[in-house]
């Protein structure tokens, strides 16, 4: 894997690539989504096993991400033609069916390298997911081994958490926080109000 200095809190690397949007080919850039949260996820290959379960799970929860002002972008090293063929394959046959978000072709592997998820020897990407805020800042970076599927509910929770703390300066989200639960103050004395309730 190529080493780089990609870190949470820094500007997310921009890119431009061909994608399947609906059932059409379209060139898109990360910078097209400025002003919105972006959930950028990488998966190894089309027509595999764990991958369609994740992509369909993202699609089924797409409206929940949209409510938060977030867009989803899927990426693999496959060609745009492979993406389209997979979308045109029914779900009951291991295909994706129609998707509400773009699938990006990283056939040059440059996007995967920028996000440090490319397994160079195998020529495929790890299951990386990156949450990028409205200003293009990388807020969350999670990378799974390729035999472990992701929890889309957890990714949604992380978008909610980052959105909450951005809108409520001075507050932080403790362990297992979810929407509607209590947060705490990032202050030595004020944080004790939270700890007293859970002691």
Catalytic positions, written as ranges: 51
Strands 70-76 and 171-172: unpaired
Containing 141, the helix (H) or strand (E) segment is strand 138-144
Task: Return all residues near 12 (Cβ < 8 A) that are at least 6 apart.
Answer: 30, 38, 40, 130, 132, 136, 137, 138
Dihedral of alpha carbons 38, 114, 46, 119, sign = negative
Tell me the helices (H) and strands (E) count for the chain, helix number first: 6, 11
């Amino acid at each position: 894997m190529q080493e780089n200095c990609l870190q949470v809190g820094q500007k997310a690397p921009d890119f431009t690539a061909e994608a399947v949007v609906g059932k059409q080919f379209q060139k898109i850039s990360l910078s097209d989504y400025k002003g919105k949260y972006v959930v950028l996820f990488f998966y190894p290959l089309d027509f595999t096993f764990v991958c369609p379960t994740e992509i369909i799970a993202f699609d089924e929860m797409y409206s929940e991400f949209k409510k938060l002002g977030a867009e989803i972008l899927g990426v693999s090293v496959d060609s745009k033609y492979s993406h389209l063929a997979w979308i045109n394959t029914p779900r009951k046959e291991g295909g994706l069916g129609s998707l509400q978000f773009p699938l990006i072709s990283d056939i040059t592997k440059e996007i995967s390298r920028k996000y440090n998820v490319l397994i160079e020897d195998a020529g495929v990407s790890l299951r990386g997911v990156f949450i990028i805020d409205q200003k293009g800042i990388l807020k969350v970076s999670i990378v799974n081994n390729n035999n472990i599927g992701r929890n889309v509910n957890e990714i949604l929770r992380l978008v909610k958490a980052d959105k909450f703390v951005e809108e409520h300066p001075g507050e932080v989200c403790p362990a297992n926080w979810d929407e509607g639960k209590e947060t705490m103050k990032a202050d030595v004395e004020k944080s004790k109000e939270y700890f007293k309730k859970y002691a």
